[in-house]
Structure 1
Amino acid sequence: MGCASLRKYVSYSTIKMAVIEDVVLGTVHYLCMLGVAAYIVLSLLGYSSYVKDDAPIGSVRLQMHPPTVIGKHGHGCNPDVFGCNFNFTSPDTLGYCTQSGAAGKGATRPLQCALWDDNEVVQPVIEGSPFYMATRVTESNETLLCDDPKSGACAHTYGIACNASFTYKPDCTVPAQRSFFVADVESFTLLVDHSVRAPKIPSIHASAFQMHGKLTSCTGTDIIPASTTEGQDVFTLGELLSTIQMKDGRCGVSLDDASTVTGSKNSIRYDGAILVLNIEYTNIKPWSGVQPDITYEYKLDVLHGTKSKVEQQIFKQYPQQRVIRDQHGLKLVVIQTGRLGIFDVQTLLVQLTTTLTLFAAATTLVDLLALYVLPHRAAYRDAKVEEVLVRSKRRVVLANPLKWRPPSSRPDDGPSVRAGSLSLPGHGAGTGAYADDDV
């Protein structure tokens, strides 16, 4: 391998500054720089990308109470405390109760109504997510018919009894079953007690007492919830339903609206539904950065096309007699999401490195336009790229020196070059002449 070939493979490339007076290149360059600068401002200040963030996790405790008499302190009492009285709306005034004399069919068909407390409405009692609230119940009295496998095949283990008793009759025409609505369930209050933490950032954690939040309504307004002395938020079920945005554009849901299940002719109160309560946490505010307190936002949605029910077994005389409660209602699923974070120097350095890369990419884009796209690309390439050949210790050769002459200039005119800049008189009016000579 000769010396010339060796020089080719071990050559060194460095950066050369060339100022090109071209309106197109200058405009593209400054537009790219402006775009990168705008992205940096939005990313660093608007989105706070310098923050080390984490997706929150947490726990939720849900509790329901029936409507109670308002005391001197301005809110209801605790029904688990002696002397606290319920304050139900009379079924005689509720249009979905037959006690009111209302009539209808399909989604507006009334049923007999019963007054239930929270221990009956909420089944199973788990105080977590998912949380179930009954709106319609079908009770069946059942009697044990067969539990001995030695007696042969059992057509039924339990059979539905007859005439509101626990006596089974194969030819019964009036089964011991009844269906009814739970009266005034919209007036029940729901207590939400929740806590949150960032699993990758141990210093970020808070309980309900340490946070404050709001309920977002489909009307565009924010509802500040009532709260207990320990910071738990309290809503009525009717208040929560009024904030839901429906698929057809309606704002708010009534339990007497048509069921969201395709093909059903019943109401939501009759079929039940699945509700999703999203709690979004954050301690990062756009344009302000990390905040000292965590805030949250509630948003409630309904899963269209769904119904919900649970079954409860109550033994009257074990194991011979039992009552089966088929309970349709609202199943509430809670999802905790959001963004929690702290200022982090390492994250900031990564963002600054990305910023420098974007500026370099913008410059590279303009260089590509100058060297390979625009009409005077040959002149721009000669001005930007020079090849220096080292022949010996005493001899250095420029392989491609620029000698540019405008077409209209005299032959002895030299190139228009000033202080390291290349000026192109007659740019766009024609092409120039080039000469590559050794010096």
Structure 2
Amino acid sequence: MGALHYFFLLYILAYLVGYQIVWAHRYVLSAVPKGSLRVSLQAPSQRTPSGLLPYCDTYNGNATSLKRYPCTYYDQNFVLLPSNIGDNSMFITTRITESNQDLMPNCSIEEYNCSYVTLSNHTTYIPDIEDFTVLLDHFMFTVQPDYQALGRQLSGKIVGSDGKEIPLSPGEVVGVKDEYDILKVSTILKAAGVKSLDEPAYNDTDSKRYQGLVLVLLVNYTNMHTFSLSKLEYFFSAIVIDGAFFKFEQTIYSKSIEERVVWNRHGIRLVIIPTGNYGAFDFQTVLVTFVSGLGLVSVSTAVVEVIALWVIPQKKRFRKEKITETSLKPD
């Protein structure tokens, strides 16, 4: 029974040191980081001729099943739909359907039955969206424990859905000290498992380029990957929300309120969320971990005692050795 008791003690020690301390980091006070960032979009310096792009109507390559539309080389100022400051998101337009509308003839906007009539529709793609670059200037902080850090002071990387690091192409930057992170849209799509914007949208015959999609880019801050809590790093990961599309209708009035153009924008809704796990050494947390270990020692002692006194064939002998009967005789 002594061997069983020592086995339990060794198991508890391995559990405390191997799992609680080494694996689960139960010697630190941890928190999920919060943060914010500044994002901007930049068009590539060199654009691809529309004749080489299979989604443009002037494509001169082999026939494909893609729906083709005219391609218009808008820059980042047209492509990026401004988001609210602090929204941690951006909308990158991939397709615009332009509708020219006039008020009904002999009609006034002050009349209840007056409405706009669509005169014409024109759909266009914005080419080379995959080569547009996203600049991210981010920071993190925690309240308890108290800590804060700038992203450009940390090392980082971007990983795919399999957890493996994605190699960067020329012009991309991630985790370089004193430099902002710069990622191509194609790299973010790859991290989310999207092979091409021309693949079918979720349960739809139209492409992701036509319908749009919602991407969540996670900025994972952590210092829990090594025993050096002073080494804070981050990595980008991305997920695509299946079945979620995004569109925005932008109304442009020209000379008067009687005439207007409605831009029905579809594209990539990119939502950036800071997350992760930051921890700092905390004596109270260590104390709680070891006190719970002492509780396990008491439980193991009680289990061994029950086995020795009530289960094994030699239980009577163990009871005799454990329990000593005494009698008190008067002098």
Fold similarity call, TM over 0.5: yes
Deviates more, 1:49-58 or 1:309-318: 309-318
Give a deviation string over 1:135-170, Cα, whole Å, max 9, x none: 111110112345555x4x41x532212xxxxxxxxx
Counterpart of 1:226 (choices 155, 169, 173) is 173
Q: CA deviation at 1:308?
A: 1.6
Q: Which amino acid aligns with 2:200?
A: A
Tell me if the contact between 1:48 and 1:289 (Cα under 8 Å) persists in the aligned partners.
no
Q: Which amino acid aligns with 2:151?
A: A
Residues 41 and 101 of structure 1: is their aligned pair in 2 closer, same or farther, counting only changes over 3 Å? same
1:417 match: none
Secondary structure, in 3 states, of the residue corresponding to 1:342?
Answer: strand
Quick one: distance in 2 between partners of 1:362 and 1:147?
Answer: 87
Secondary structure, in 3 states, of the residue corresponding to 1:41?
Answer: helix
TM-score normalised by L of structure 1: 0.68
Quick one: distance in 1 between partners of 2:326 and 2:253?
Answer: 99
Identity of aligned residues (%): 29
1:199 match: 143
Q: Which amino acid aligns with 1:257?
A: E
Quick one: distance in 1 between partners of 2:42 and 2:279?
Answer: 36
Quick one: distance in 1 between partners of 2:178 and 2:252?
Answer: 36
Quick one: distance in 2 between partners of 1:133 and 1:297?
Answer: 22
Residues 61 and 386 of structure 1: is their aligned pair in 2 closer, same or farther, counting only changes over 3 Å? farther
Q: Which amino acid aligns with 1:236?
A: K
Is 1:279 equivalent to 2:219 in the alignment? yes
TM-score normalised by L of structure 2: 0.88
1:216 match: 159
Quick one: distance in 1 between partners of 2:177 and 2:100?
Answer: 44
Counterpart of 1:294 (choices 232, 242, 264) is 232
Secondary structure, in 3 states, of the residue corresponding to 1:364?
Answer: helix
Quick one: distance in 2 between partners of 1:270 and 1:387?
Answer: 89
Quick one: distance in 2 between partners of 1:197 and 1:361?
Answer: 41
Q: Which amino acid aligns with 2:21?
A: L
Q: What is the CA RMSD across the aligned residues, in angstroms?
A: 2.3
Q: Which amino acid aligns with 1:300?
A: A
Q: CA deviation at 1:231?
A: 2.6
Quick one: distance in 1 between partners of 2:98 and 2:69?
Answer: 13
Tell me if the contact between 1:226 and 1:233 (Cα under 8 Å) persists in the aligned partners.
yes
Runs of 4+ in 1 over 4 A off after TM superposition: 146-149, 227-230, 387-392
Tell me if the contact between 2:152 and 2:181 (Cα under 8 Å) persists in the aligned partners.
no
- Whose Rg is larger? 1
Q: CA deviation at 1:222?
A: 4.4
Residues 158 and 36 of structure 1: is their aligned pair in 2 closer, same or farther, counting only changes over 3 Å? same
Q: Which amino acid aligns with 1:98?
A: D
Q: CA deviation at 1:289?
A: 4.2
Is 1:30 equivalent to 2:6 in the alignment? yes
1:159 match: 117
Tell me if the contact between 1:119 and 1:125 (Cα under 8 Å) persists in the aligned partners.
no
Give a deviation string over 1:181-231, Cα, whole Å, max 9, x none: 1111111001111110012222x1011222221101346234465158843
Tell me if the contact between 1:277 and 1:299 (Cα under 8 Å) persists in the aligned partners.
yes
Secondary structure, in 3 states, of the residue corresponding to 2:152?
Answer: helix
2:268 match: 330
Quick one: distance in 1 between partners of 2:173 and 2:35?
Answer: 21
Secondary structure, in 3 states, of the residue corresponding to 2:88?
Answer: coil
Q: Which amino acid aligns with 2:54?
A: G
Secondary structure, in 3 states, of the residue corresponding to 1:380?
Answer: helix
Is 1:138 equivalent to 2:115 in the alignment? no
Quick one: distance in 1 between partners of 2:53 and 2:12?
Answer: 62
Quick one: distance in 1 between partners of 2:319 and 2:44?
Answer: 83
Equivalent runs, 1:242-261 vs 2, <5 Å:
242-245=190-193, 252-259=194-201, 261=202
Give a deviation string over 1:88-137, Cα, whole Å, max 9, x none: 111121111011135444xx211111111112111134464332111111
Query: Which blocks of at least 5 consecutive residues in structure 2 are unaligned?
Result: none
1:166 match: none
2:205 match: 265
Tell me if the contact between 1:104 and 1:110 (Cα under 8 Å) persists in the aligned partners.
no
Equivalent runs, 1:269-418 vs 2, <5 Å:
269-286=209-226, 288-290=227-229, 292-386=230-324, 388=326, 390=328, 394=331
Quick one: distance in 2 between partners of 1:190 and 1:95?
Answer: 24
Residues 28 and 148 of structure 1: is their aligned pair in 2 closer, same or farther, counting only changes over 3 Å? same
* Higher RCO (C-alpha under 8 Å, 6+ residues apart): 2
Counterpart of 1:119 (choices 77, 87, 92) is 77
Secondary structure, in 3 states, of the residue corresponding to 2:224?
Answer: strand
